[in-house]
Chains A and B, each alone.
Chain A
Amino acid sequence: MNDKDLILKYLGGLLEGEELESFERKLENSPEFSAEYEKISSGLKSLKATADVKYDNRYFASSLAKMKTRSADSPKRRRLIPALSAVSFAAVILFFFLSAPLEENILINENLFTDELYSALLSVENDELNDFIKRDMVSHYSYYGDLETELELEPGDGEAGNNSVNEYGVPYNYNYDVLNDASTEEIDQLYNTLLETKIL
């Protein structure tokens, strides 16, 4: 711990026992440490002095009178505001429930359509999974370059020659709709395989 932190811990009352004794010895024996302590503690004292502000006392008298007037006026308003707040809160909750995607859709549209997943699919050494990808899903891919070679596919049209890939090795124009036509069972099968192979 550096000297500054040690001093701040002391000022914050965080030092106890052996640590405190050691701090006090150091403060007594080291002029540099003692100077650092003085600097920090006088800075904090000067800040405390800024809080010694003289307020106008008339404010407090008028404020009390104002409070009593407000207190007499406020019951009706205070009943209305919580009621409106409750209705708004209920509306927001209802909106979230109604607009929340179904679990099945989350699985298909969010969990599976990620670059990480695609990257994982490419790297997996699992024949069953690779067969599944090639047999049932490959026709929906639109990709090119190294990926064509890797999966032994025909080049896609239009984008050949563009080798831009992101940090996961996924081409920027990768078609994320690839799993749209897969059935729920296929998705489940893929998902389970990924779980078994500890990709997910």
Chain B
Amino acid sequence: MKKEREKRLIEEFLGGSELAFNELVHEYHPKIYSHCRRMLGNHMDADEVTQEVLIVIYNKLKDFRFDSSLSTWIYRITTTRSLNFLNKRKLKKFLFLDDEEARELNSSDDIVADMENRAKLEKLDEVLQQLPVKQREVFVLRHFEQLGYEEIAKIKNKSVGGLKANYFHALKKVTELMENE
């Protein structure tokens, strides 16, 4: 049912309907942002990568052949772009080009307005940013986005065994971090 609806919306978008694209993205947009936010740890970077992902979807949707589900395809783009961004950030940091100050200043532009939710996010960012990237990615996809190992394996093109091992280590690290709080 969902697949049929998505297929219809893609066809309408390819036929020139911007509304169809808006409708299609409406469901995935918060998921994309949440994934980026959890991976990157702040609004500014998450916003940039979310924009990038939306642009890729907008431009590449014509090539989507339904070999996988649309969700898997979008997650694949999102995870790849997030990792690329993290690598770029690491390189910028190495070359002293990373503007951490700007990120901190722009944290006031966060899209979480109330204090309670902001405190929740800060706590989450604090824990997640201490996980190694591969573990963080699997942990985010499995623990927060509730995806099964099979689905994550399709997104990441990795073996289920390797993902399970990464998730186990992530769980271990997270519980240690929470114990030390």
- Which residues in A have some Cβ–Cβ distance to B below 8 Å? 4-5, 8-9, 11-14, 40, 43-44, 47-56, 59-60, 63-64, 66-68, 70-71, 74
Contact = CB atoms under 8 A, between A and B. Distances in A.
A44 B55 contact: no
Interface in B83-125: 111-114, 117, 120-121, 123-124
Contacts, number: 90
10 nearest CB pairs, A to B: A59-B111, A67-B54, A50-B120, A12-B168, A50-B124, A8-B171, A56-B111, A53-B117, A51-B144, A71-B55
Contacts of A63: 29, 33, 47, 50-51, 54
B149 interface: yes
A40 B54 contact: no
Interface residues of B, number: 39
Among B25, B26, B124, the most chain A Cβ lie within 10 Å of the Cβ of: B124
Given A56-B111, A71-B59, A44 B175 contact: yes
B112 A47 contact: no
Contacts of B29: 60, 63-64
B144 A48 contact: yes
B156 interface: no
12 contacts: A11-B171, A12-B164, A43-B178, A48-B144, A50-B120, A51-B38, A52-B120, A53-B117, A53-B120, A56-B113, A71-B54, A74-B55
B133 interface: no
B175 A67 contact: no
B35 to A, nearest CB: 11
Contacts of A59: 33, 111
Nearest to A9: B168
A47 B178 contact: yes
B70 interface: no
A64 B55 CA distance: 9
B22 interface: yes
A60 B168 contact: no
Nearest to B59: A71
B112 to A, nearest CB: 6
Nearest to A52: B120
A60 B29 CA distance: 7
Given A55-B33, A63-B47, A67-B54, 4 more contacts: A11-B171, A13-B149, A51-B34, A67-B55
A133 to B, nearest CB: 44
A199 to B, nearest CB: 38
A141 to B, nearest CB: 42
Nearest to A65: B22
Contacts of A51: 34, 38, 120, 124, 144
B57 to A, nearest CB: 9
Contact of A44 (B33, B47, B165, B174): B174
Given A50-B123, A51-B38, A68 B30 contact: no
B134 interface: no
A64 B54 contact: yes
B58 A68 contact: yes
Contact of A40 (B111, B120, B175): B175
B3 interface: no
B127 interface: yes
A60 B58 contact: no
B167 interface: yes
Interface string B20-36: 00100110011001100
Nearest to A67: B54
A8 B169 CA distance: 9
